[in-house]
Amino acid sequence: MSSTPFPLSAIAPGVLAELRERDDAGAVPALWTDGTDGAPLRCCLRRAGGGERVALVSYAPLRRWAARTGATPGAYDEVGPVFVHLDGCAGPDPAAGYPFAETGASRVVRRYTARGAISGGEFVALPPDPAEAQAVVRGALERAFADPDVALVHVRAVEYGCFLYEVGRP
């Protein structure tokens, strides 16, 4: 997403194709219809609108990153629920800014080393003003990557602990 100084990543199209066949917990995804309006979609990093076909799948973000990089997260590997379009989508809007930076929300910016170990995190309370919320997320990412040992950051929802998106070193 080019409007941010950090490389943000939605779930990659190839991984989405795999998850739509069988998710990271081994289940076959199905259409999710209960309360999908507003569900945070990890395929395009936006909220679902009414009538969109979405699936709730199990996803292992650190495991997938480790497979690409050779990291060995060991016990830090985890599988959790994420919403994705059941069918294909156009992916993220490059001009959208930091996704899921809703005002009043709480986030955790979790830091990982190149080996895949957790190396800290920061609780982030997003202020009511949207521009300020974007600045708060950016500040948390700047602080995370100020540590040279941080290779990867996960932005997560506090209330559910769910993975929202991945941020790489600039």
CA distance 111 to 144: 7
Do 145 and 169 form a contact (C-beta atoms < 8 A)? yes
Evaluate whether residue 98 is within a structural domain.
Answer: no
Evaluate whether residue 95 is within a structural domain.
Answer: no
Do 140 and 122 form a contact (C-beta atoms < 8 A)? yes
Q: What is the pLDDT along the chain (170 residues), one digit of tens a residue?
A: 446 889 999 999 999 999 999 999 999 998 887 777 789 999 999 999 988 999 999 999 999 999 999 999 999 999 999 999 998 899 999 888 999 988 889 999 999 999 999 999 999 999 999 999 999 999 999 999 999 999 999 999 998 889 999 999 98
Tell me, yes or no, whether 80 and 27 share the same domain.
yes
Is residue 21 exposed (0-12), middle (13-18) or buried (19+ Cβ within 10 Å)?
Answer: exposed
Domain count, the chain: 2
Do 155 and 109 form a contact (C-beta atoms < 8 A)? yes
Evaluate whether residue 101 is within a structural domain.
Answer: no
CA distance 138 to 44: 20
Tell me, yes or no, whether 126 and 58 share the same domain.
no
Amino acid, res. 148: P
Which residues is 81 bridged to in the sheet? 58
Evaluate whether residue 93 is within a structural domain.
Answer: no
Phi, psi of 58 (to 5 degrees): -85, 135
Q: Against a cut of 0.85, is the pTM above it?
A: yes
- Structural domain including 44 reads 8-85
